[in-house]
């Protein structure tokens, strides 16, 4: 399973652009962890995550997210590669967002309103089969009927 869930703050203003018939939005999110070391000193480590949203979620992120806004992101981790002009292969790891929720107080939002977004993933789920398949039935095993006598 490939699933990423983070809560953090938007690190830079989202950038969106059209790619063919789709819209893509890129931004970063900072997550922090705080602890006390052996000497009792407060320590903090911040991780930066690249986030990519597509289509409707991209439009919503572009419109409502701003630097410093606390958000929840759910998606999958993906790694892309490309070739530079010098012929070197470069890699980037990012979270492809499927769901986003804006957290924090109403005053935390630039427009003074709380917005919660939970769109359907951009890749649709497959249609269920028209006729249910029989699961767990061995081909050589006779089906069990409710009227059968049980040996116990």
Domain ranges in the chain are 4-117
Confidence (pTM): 0.67
CA–centroid distance for 67 within its chain: 19
Confidence at residue 104, expressed as pLDDT on a 0 to 100 scale = 81
- The pLDDT confidence band at residue 128, using thresholds 50, 70 and 90, is very low
Sign of the four-CA dihedral 66, 69, 72, 75: positive
How far is CA 124 from each of CA 78, 98, 128, rounded to the nearest angstrom? 18, 11, 12
CATH 2.40.50.140 fits 4-117, yes or no: yes
Using the CB atoms, write b or e for 110-140: b if 16+ within 10 Å.
eeeeeeebebeeeeeeeeeeeeeeeeeeeee
Confidence at residue 105, expressed as pLDDT on a 0 to 100 scale = 72
Residues of the chain above pLDDT 90, percent? 66
């Amino acid at each position: 399973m490939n699933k990423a869930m983070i809560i953090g703050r938007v690190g830079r203003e989202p950038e969106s652009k059209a790619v063919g018939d789709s819209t893509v939005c890129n931004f970063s999110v900072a997550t922090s962890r705080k602890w006390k070391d052996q000497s009792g000193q407060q320590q903090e480590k911040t991780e930066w995550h690249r986030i990519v949203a597509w289509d409707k979620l991209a439009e919503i992120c572009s419109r409502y997210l701003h630097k410093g806004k606390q958000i929840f992101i759910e998606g999958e981790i993906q790694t892309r590669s490309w070739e530079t002009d010098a012929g070197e292969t470069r890699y980037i790891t990012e979270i492809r967002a499927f769901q986003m929720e804006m957290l924090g107080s109403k005053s935390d939002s630039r427009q003074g309103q709380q917005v919660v977004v939970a769109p359907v993933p951009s890749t649709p789920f497959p249609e269920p089969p028209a006729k249910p398949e029989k699961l767990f039935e061995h081909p050589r095993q006779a089906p069990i009927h409710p009227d059968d006598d049980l040996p116990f």
